[in-house]
Structure 1
């Protein structure tokens, strides 16, 4: 595997970095949080860039790019807290493309005119709970009792209040249509979500550190810049080291999924958990070094802290993810309930 982006990937990253820098300032993130947590204008612009379908086959309207290319965009989107469900949409579209028989729908997903998401948790009865982008998605992919299905229909159009202003919502499942995607195919889809979300976490964490460092270079206490205090420097160094490790692990998970390596699922889970921990640590350091300002809505760092805490919760309790990984690596604990 490669530990750094290729020349082509750097070009993709730079193009999308410029895009998000221009189209997704923090004012856009804040404005989206007042509604559903989704910015339709940003999504339309992102679709015009080809992002929704970049990792879909060309025969279905996509660009035929690799998962590694999509990860580059996820990194930059995470750094800007982009209020669009790019990852959920992309992995759902890829799952439908693998299942086959949904060419017309996949083509719409590739162009971004139809928005898709997946229920990361099994539905309870006829309801999928806390679905990421559930408040805005047109197509819902879900899996229960070994059957993967899609439901199409209008999104509820109202958000579920939560601490990170994500467009979460309960979705009532109706008119579900089973698709040719078995449990392994479903697990692959969720693993892609894990790995891409890990990459987005890395982007978030790096930006949180940048914001914190910039603040400590301007804030004066005791007659000196607080950035000269070694205690703060050590905190940033620890955060940067952790984030770099998360970056390497996320890249390995993406590579393992792309090349169907043994243990790819475990790597995806490990990458998500470690990236989430690293991002929370980085955002926490930056918030603390802002002092009381770090908790003020006027400062951007609180946005990063809140999203760092919330993203992984879309999958459920992180403790369950740790237990899943432990069971996969060492086998179930004897006597465990």
Structure 2
């Protein structure tokens, strides 16, 4: 296999970087931290570039690209801490629709996503502490008209900024993968409240399903048969967050290198001091390794490789542990200035910490890797 970026992919990355810088997206992330509404305008800009169409199949007005191509785009998005639900919509929502949706569901949703007219997110967590997807417990009871959803979901990414939410519920008893069903729910029909989290560039929402009735048409796939596709969607989203973290780490290395060349102590740039330049070298090596693991995981998922699940966990574990240290080192390299809120490194660090345990803790991913080796 050849993981070198081809000319088309390289041109896409360059165009995406120019686009994100031209639109001052990192500044939009800061505005989002201050509580301003930025998603609508950003999504309109993304739609002008056809980015929401990236992984939508050609027959539904999309571009038909794969997970690796999406990862390349999200790597550039990570450099500017994109405060918009692009990974939620494409890596998770569109994938689930394509895998489980009926022809009518696909016709309704996929072209709208490609055209930038519909944004998606997902509601999985209930307490925020459980192991997913096996511990999902929100009840979905069959009724004459469809299903009654009753319970609470937490940590829903962009829950108040999207149009449709993929809700995971249990239509069978017990725990585990069996009995999990996925539903398409109109976000406006659900009572919501914002949650205060570490990463304020990507708002989280608590949703209250108080005996909410949804039509039979809201069900994705068969009743109780959504568990395996849900796990695959979680893996795709995990790779998407890894790609964004790699992009952020790449920018952190650049910032440290630039500062090391400009800031002087004892009549020479601090980057010439061994303690600083070796730290930056270690940051660069960690970023390169994380990029390789992420690219392979994306390729393995797209090609249904036997080791795809393990590859995802390897990428997530490495990004969680090593790239979080990259952001901490970048703050360290900037000295006193690094500890001020004006330094962009804080945005990257908080985002990485928020993703560290999202859809799987480091321990859970270690267990998954060990299980793949039958340990």
**TM-score where L is the length of structure 2:** 0.82
State how 1:68-87 maps to structure 2 within 5 Å.
Answer: 68-87=68-87
Question: In structure 1, what is the equivalent of residue 181 of structure 2?
Answer: 147
State how 1:1-337 maps to structure 2 within 5 Å.
Answer: 1-35=1-35, 38-91=38-91, 92-101=93-102, 102=105, 103-121=107-125, 125=138, 126-144=151-169, 145-154=179-188, 159-165=194-200, 166-173=202-209, 174-176=212-214, 177-180=218-221, 182-330=226-374
Please list every run of 5 or more consecutive structure 2 residues that lacks an aligned counterpart in the other structure.
126-132, 139-150, 170-178
- Check the 8 A contact 2:159/2:187 in 1, yes or no: no
* Deviations, residues 272-322 of structure 1 (Å, cap 9, x unaligned): 221232321211111001112111012222222222222233325433333
**TM-score where L is the length of structure 1:** 0.91
**SS of aligned partner of 2:373:** helix
Please list every run of 5 or more consecutive structure 1 residues that lacks an aligned counterpart in the other structure.
332-337
Which has the larger Rg?
A: 2
* Deviations, residues 107-142 of structure 1 (Å, cap 9, x unaligned): 212222111012343555411211122232221113
- Check the 8 A contact 1:38/1:167 in 2, yes or no: no
- Check the 8 A contact 2:192/2:207 in 1, yes or no: no
**SS of aligned partner of 1:52:** helix
Write 1 or 2 for the structure with the bigger share of strand. Answer: 2
Q: CA RMSD in A?
A: 2.0
**Deviation at residue 329 of structure 1 after TM alignment:** 3.5
- Provide the C-alpha distance between the structure 2 equivalents of 1:324 and 1:23, rounded to a whole number of angstroms: 40
Cα 1:139–1:309 change in 2 (3 A) is same
- Check the 8 A contact 2:297/2:312 in 1, yes or no: yes
**Deviation at residue 34 of structure 1 after TM alignment:** 1.6
* Worse-superposed segment, 177-186 or 313-322: 313-322
- Check the 8 A contact 2:327/2:345 in 1, yes or no: yes
**Deviation at residue 156 of structure 1 after TM alignment:** 6.1
